[in-house]
Amino acid sequence: MSLKDCYYIELPKIHNTNGNLTFIEGLNHIPFEIKRIYHLFDVPGGSERGGHAHKDLQQLIIAMSGSFDVILDDGYQKKRFHLNRSYQGLYVRTLIWRELDNFSSGSVCMVLASNLYDESDYYRNYDDFLRALTQRSKT
Ligand code: TYD
């Protein structure tokens, strides 16, 4: 996958003077079925998260509160995405290296995932990730 396959997705929003509401349906608002949801919270200022790519997993990353940046890298180029709205997600495809930084205090990062947690689905070493990309381009 390349960076152009990763993009912001604007989620439906129901406006109400007493507060807004957003919802997400797998395969409707996002291109995959949701198998797992997790969130990062109490992230200390200056922290960096991520530093890995996935073999099969697709994700939608949302700043439920506060803001942070996601840096995506397809092995050829890198792009920084800023997330700061609970009704906007970043769609991250397979075989994309990601890093998260610039967390505001009290921020909450929610991730919708297309699969259950599986450590064998991770590339945690950047050189292994690059090697996997090279293998894929040969096949
Ligand atoms: P990781 O995916 O590396 O988090 P991040 O990308 O935010 O830095 O996961 C951090 C740790 O949590 C790692 O030891 C694996 C574990 N983990 C689970 O046990 N279940 C999960 O669903 C997730 C996402 C992580």
SS (H, E, C) the chain: CCHHHCEEEECCEECCCCCCEECCCECCCECCCCCEEEEECCCCCCCCEEEEEECCCCEEEEEEECCEEEEEECCCCEEEEEECCCCEEEEECCCCEEEEECCCCCCEEEEEECCCCCHHHEECCHHHHHHHHHHHHHC
Q: Is residue 57 in some structural domain?
A: yes
Q: Is residue 110 in some structural domain?
A: yes
Report the nearest-CA residue for atom 18 of ligand 1: 117
What does the mean pLDDT of the chain come to?
A: 97
Please identify, by atom number, the ligand 1 atom nearest to the C-alpha of residue 116. 22
Q: Is residue 130 in some structural domain?
A: yes
Residue-wise pLDDT tens digits, 129-138: 999 999 988 8
- Range(s) of the domain holding residue 97: 3-15+41-138
Kindly report the CATH number assigned to the domain that includes residue 70: 2.60.120.10
Report the nearest-CA residue for atom 23 of ligand 1: 117
Q: Which residues contact 92 (CB under 8 A, 6 or more apart)?
A: 6, 58, 59, 60, 61, 70, 72, 98
Pocket of ligand 1 (CB under 6 A): 38, 40, 49-50, 52, 117
Q: Is residue 121 in some structural domain?
A: yes
Q: Is residue 24 in some structural domain?
A: no
pLDDT by residue for the chain (139 residues), tens digit each? 799 999 999 999 999 999 999 999 999 999 999 999 999 999 998 899 999 999 999 999 999 999 999 999 999 999 999 999 999 999 999 999 999 999 999 999 999 999 999 999 999 999 999 999 999 888 7
* Distance between CA atoms of residues 22 and 15, nearest Å: 9
Q: Ligand 1: which of 41, 100, 117 to mutate, most ligand atoms within 8 Å of CB? A: 117
Distance from Cα 112 to the centre of ligand 1, integer Å: 13
Q: Is residue 83 in some structural domain?
A: yes
75: how many CB neighbours lie within 10 A of its CB?
21
Q: Is residue 89 in some structural domain?
A: yes
Residue-wise pLDDT tens digits, 22-43: 999 999 999 999 999 999 999 9
For residue 46, give both structure tokens.
């200056």
Please identify, by atom number, the ligand 1 atom nearest to the C-alpha of residue 40. 7
Q: Is residue 93 in some structural domain?
A: yes
Active-site amino acid positions: 52
Q: How many independent structural domains does the chain possess?
A: 1
